[in-house]
Amino acid sequence: MIRPFATGMILLLGSAMPLASIAQSASPPMPSDQAMPAEDVPARVLPANDPWGVAPADEWQFHATIYGWLPDIGGKTIFQTDAGNVGVGISAKTIVRNLDFTTQAEFEAKKGRVGFLLDYIYMNLGGSKSNPGSVTTGGAALPPGVGSDLHLDVKGNVGAVGITYNMFTLPRVTMDVLGGARLFYQKERLDWTFTGDVDQLSVPPSGHAETKIDNWDAIIGVKGRVVLDSQGKWFIPYYLDGGAGESERTWQALVGLGYQFHWGSINASYRWLDYEFKPDSAISDMSYNGPALGVSFKW
């Protein structure tokens, strides 16, 4: 799981110097008689197609994005009961058809090259399934002659806070590095009913159990955009991070296609969020991935 993240980080960071060199060689030198007086040179001049616009280094700029994300969900959880364990593998197709409610938002403030980033995701998902093949009781598969009806509710909160620094802003490419922390909080409830020859089971034939996870992890990454046309309207946003801490490891990635307006932008993207937790965690791993549609405003 970590290999795609590491490869992407190397490729993105390795592209910084060649891109900067190309941009500098492609820009003709300014004649000496047209040089700007020192007192007239702005503190920070960016290309017109930069998403933040042209602004002095001592002025704050703000971005706010509201987006909808329709993720597919995967992972496995062991629910503790009074008599034993009930393990369930979450069916991505079942869950994604029962997305009860989700909301996501991102806010970024920038002054000069330095910025602050906040990102928040809330998801409320639920699904029911009969006789999924992944169900276990007491660590073993269900014995022959036993059926199951399961209902799973999942409520999750993912929040991230970080500091960004603009590595470079070229006419067609921008890249920021970031460092921060991400919180992953998820609560799951399983209701089950076993049918058939239930005397073979080490758990009650019906019942419910809950479990949750609440982890903080340090993250580092890169983010930016690649402009596709000379007017700076069409662009590809990208984001990649990875880290660890209370979780064994985590990574997140996003890539898409956007269109820039004077007030902000719209973009359609695909987003991945993946976690692998410690061996003693009730939730062993969790992954979310799917399409997203966002609207950004700047001021």
> Model confidence over 138-155: pLDDT tens digits?
666 777 888 888 888 888
Predicted TM-score (pTM) of this structure: 0.74
- Bridge partners of 128, per DSSP, are 151
Mean pLDDT of the chain: 78
Q: Which of 89-103, 115-129, 282-296 has the lowest mean pLDDT?
A: 89-103
Confidence of residue 100 (pLDDT cuts 50, 70, 90): low
3-class state of residue 13 by DSSP: helix
Question: Does residue 80 carry a pLDDT above 60?
Answer: yes
* Model pLDDT for residues 206-264, shown as the tens digit of each residue: 888 888 899 999 999 999 999 999 888 999 999 999 999 999 999 999 999 999 999 99
Q: Tell me, what's the pLDDT at 161? A: 97
What is the percentage of the chain residues whose pLDDT exceeds 70? 72
| pLDDT interval class at 84 (50, 70, 90) | low
Say what the pLDDT of residue 250 is: 97
Q: Is the pLDDT of residue 1 over 80?
A: no
pLDDT digits (tens, 9 = 90+) for 30-48: 444 444 443 443 444 344 4
pLDDT tops 90 at residue 271: yes
CATH of 2-14+62-298, one of 3.90.45.10, 3.40.50.1370, 2.40.128.90, 1.10.10.60: 2.40.128.90
Indicate the DSSP class of residue 55. -
Is residue 25's pLDDT more than 50? no
Does pLDDT of 113 surpass 80?
A: yes
Q: What is the reported pLDDT for 85?
A: 57
Question: Mean pLDDT over residues 264-277, rounded?
Answer: 94
In the prediction, which pLDDT does 287 show?
87
Mean pLDDT, residues 145-169 taken together: 89
Q: Residue 165: what pLDDT?
A: 96
* Residue 135 pLDDT exceeds 70: yes
Tell me the three-class secondary structure of the chain, residue by residue: CHHHHHHHHHHHHHCHHHHHHHHHHHCCCCCHHHCCCHHHCCCCCCCCCCCCCCCCCCCEEEEEEEEEECCEEEEEEEEECCCCEEEEECCHHHHHCCEEEEEEEEEEEEECCEEEEEEEEEEEEEEEEECCCCCEECCEECCCCEEEEEEEEEEEEEEEEEEEEEEEECCCEEEEEEEEEEEEEEEEEEEEEEEECHHHCCCCCEEEEEEEEEEEEEEEEEEEEEECCCCCCEEEEEEEEEEEECCCEEEEEEEEEEEECCCEEEEEEEEEEEEECCCCCCEEEEEEEEEEEEEEEEC
Amino acid at 133: G
pLDDT tier at 59, thresholds 50, 70, 90? confident
Radius of gyration of the chain (CA): 24
**What amino acid occupies position 103?**
T
Residue 50 confidence (pLDDT): 57
- Name the more confident of 123 and 201: 123
Residue 171 has pLDDT above 80, yes or no: yes
